[in-house]
């Protein structure tokens, strides 16, 4: 998918029918949950995810909506942080007030068949229509951190769209909630692990210390598919945009720290942000002219050298020493101000997320995707598995137009635009 204007885009009228506040099914004691220092590396941005279902109902839409409300209330008993509100402390740092104020669930109707949804243009067809905004229910309330919208299309298909505040959760955490919500909805008795909200394992050291530089080392020549894809995308953007040879170019990879921090007690079901953004860099000449394995090696080394316990701990310490000034990942920095800097791109993998397993009791989704309209000039790229289940990928891209046009000019056609009738043929 790509965020560009399309001549074949078919607009549709959307009507908001109703909005409810869904509170946790079980009462809990109010408390303040501080954000971890890793949460504080995330700017105040929202992440959207949506799931499309083609005429899924053996029941009426009203009864299905009621079913979703009830199951959301039940899952919020465990994931109560999503029913809370963001507040700020005396130095303007955000904290989460776990007060069970609830999640806004909006019911909407789209006067168009689901097959007309233009997935090539999520900025036009999804954002502001199928995924809700995080807004205060009232003047007296504080900012919610999670919202849901369920949209019925004229053909009987529906879209379940969700929005969450990235400062509260990363995509891994959100998928924990979606998985548990779907299990509860279809009365699946399989036990899901409860989320862990304790921040004790991600505290700064008594004497915060930050690494001056990263150590680079080789770790064999076996590269992951994501590393090879990222290397290909990097090379493609530099070649097709005819980037000047001497310009320094970057590619960043979002890395989940949970598997790398188990030794210090960070569990697989930790809820929050455990992300680090290592990046590879080189002048355009080498990326353009060296073989693909060379660029994949740079990316591999950047991940291996940065995504370890010491660097996560250093990042935690760095945030501690700079509060309340935010820490910005270097992938978004345009050089040192002395020398011109080339293009940058940020890649995050959605390949581990079970987007097509979210069955709420009627059937699995026909299509699912994240929508993250942020990233500035660097942009944001996320490959996910295709719903076809044939090993192909759907690659979400939110990039500046010049980068989109550069990718689409590739004669190899490894990446091709998603078609307007994708949902009709899926």
Mean pLDDT confidence for 402-406: 90
Separation between Cα atoms, residue 234 and residue 255, nearest integer Å:
18
What is the per-residue pLDDT across 133-184, written as a single tens digit (0 to 9) for each?
A: 998 877 778 999 999 999 999 989 999 999 999 999 999 999 999 999 999 9
User: Which residues are 337's β-sheet partners?
Assistant: none
On the CB side of 257, CA atoms within 13 Å amount to 30
Helices 401-408, 225-240: axis angle to 10 degrees equals 100
Q: Which of 161, 176, 186 is nearest to 67 (CA)?
A: 186
* pLDDT in the model for residue 422: 80
H or E, element range at 144: strand 143-144
Strands (E), 211-366: 248-253, 255-256, 275-276, 279-283, 341-347
H or E, element range at 240: helix 225-240
Q: Which residue is listed with tokens 């987007």?
A: 355
Q: Which of 276, 273, 406 is nearest to 342 (CA)?
A: 406
Residues 6 or more apart from 355 whose CB is under 8 A from it?
51, 365, 368, 369, 384, 385
What is the per-residue pLDDT across 267-326, written as a single tens digit (0 to 9) for each?
A: 999 999 999 999 999 999 999 999 999 999 999 999 998 888 999 999 999 999 999 998
* End-to-end Cα spacing for the chain: 15
* Helix/strand/coil (H/E/C) assignment for every residue in 113-151: CHHHCCCCCHHHHCECCCECCCCCCCCCCCEECEEEEEE
Separation between Cα atoms, residue 12 and residue 34, nearest integer Å:
42
Stronger pLDDT, 87 or 363, i.e. the higher one: 87
pLDDT bucket at 60, cuts 50 / 70 / 90: confident
Separation between Cα atoms, residue 132 and residue 181, nearest integer Å:
18
pLDDT bucket at 6, cuts 50 / 70 / 90: very low
Query: Global pTM?
Result: 0.90
Q: Is the pLDDT of residue 56 over 80?
A: no
Separation between Cα atoms, residue 76 and residue 46, nearest integer Å:
19
**8 A C-beta contact, residue 72 and residue 64:** no
What is the per-residue pLDDT across 329-352, written as a single tens digit (0 to 9) for each?
A: 777 665 554 455 677 899 999 999
* pLDDT in the model for residue 210: 59
- DSSP states of 146-176 as a string? EEEEEEEETTS-EEEEEEEETTT--HHHHHH
Mean pLDDT confidence for 354-372: 91
Phi, psi (rounded to 5 degrees) for 94:
-75, 145
What is the chain's mean pLDDT, rounded?
A: 87
């Amino acid at each position: 998918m790509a965020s560009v204007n399309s001549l074949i885009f078919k607009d549709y009228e959307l009507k908001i029918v109703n909005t409810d506040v869904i509170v946790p099914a079980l009462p809990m004691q109010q408390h303040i949950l501080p954000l971890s220092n890793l949460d504080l590396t995330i700017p105040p941005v929202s992440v959207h995810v949506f799931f499309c279902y083609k005429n899924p109902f053996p029941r009426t839409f009203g009864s299905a909506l009621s079913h979703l409300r009830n199951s959301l209330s039940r899952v919020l008993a465990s994931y109560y942080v999503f029913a809370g509100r963001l507040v700020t402390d005396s130095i303007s740092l955000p904290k989460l007030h776990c007060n069970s104020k609830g999640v806004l669930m909006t019911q909407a109707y789209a006067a168009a068949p689901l097959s007309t949804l233009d997935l090539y243009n999520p900025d036009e067809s999804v954002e502001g229509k199928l995924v809700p905004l995080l807004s205060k229910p009232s003047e007296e309330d504080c900012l919610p951190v999670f919202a849901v919208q369920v949209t019925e299309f004229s053909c009987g298909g529906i879209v379940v769209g969700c929005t969450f505040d990235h400062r509260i959760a990363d995509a891994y955490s959100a998928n924990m909630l979606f998985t548990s919500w779907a299990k509860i909805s279809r009365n699946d008795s399989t036990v899901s692990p409860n989320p862990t909200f304790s921040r004790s394992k991600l505290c700064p050291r008594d004497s915060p210390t930050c690494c001056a530089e990263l150590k680079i080392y080789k770790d064999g020549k076996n590269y992951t598919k994501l590393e090879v894809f990222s290397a290909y995308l990097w090379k493609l953007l530099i070649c097709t945009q005819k980037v000047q040879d001497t310009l320094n170019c970057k590619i960043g990879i979002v890395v989940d720290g949970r598997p790398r921090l188990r030794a210090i007690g960070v569990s697989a079901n930790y809820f929050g942000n455990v992300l680090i953004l290592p990046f590879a860099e080189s002048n355009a000449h080498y990326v353009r002219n060296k073989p693909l394995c060379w660029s994949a090696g740079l990316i591999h080394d950047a991940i291996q050298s940065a995504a370890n316990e010491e660097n996560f701990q250093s990042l935690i310490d760095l945030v501690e020493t700079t509060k309340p000034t935010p820490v910005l990942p270097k992938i978004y920095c345009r050089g040192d101000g002395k020398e011109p800097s080339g293009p940058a791109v940020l890649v995050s993998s959605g390949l581990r997320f079970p987007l097509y397993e979210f069955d709420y009791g009627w059937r699995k989704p026909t299509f699912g995707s994240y929508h993250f309209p942020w990233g500035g000039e660097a942009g944001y790229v996320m490959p996910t598995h295709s719903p076809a289940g044939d090993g192909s990928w759907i690659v979400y891209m939110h990039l500046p137009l010049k980068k989109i046009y550069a990718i689409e000019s590739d004669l190899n056609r490894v990446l091709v635009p998603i078609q307007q009738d994708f949902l009709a043929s899926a």
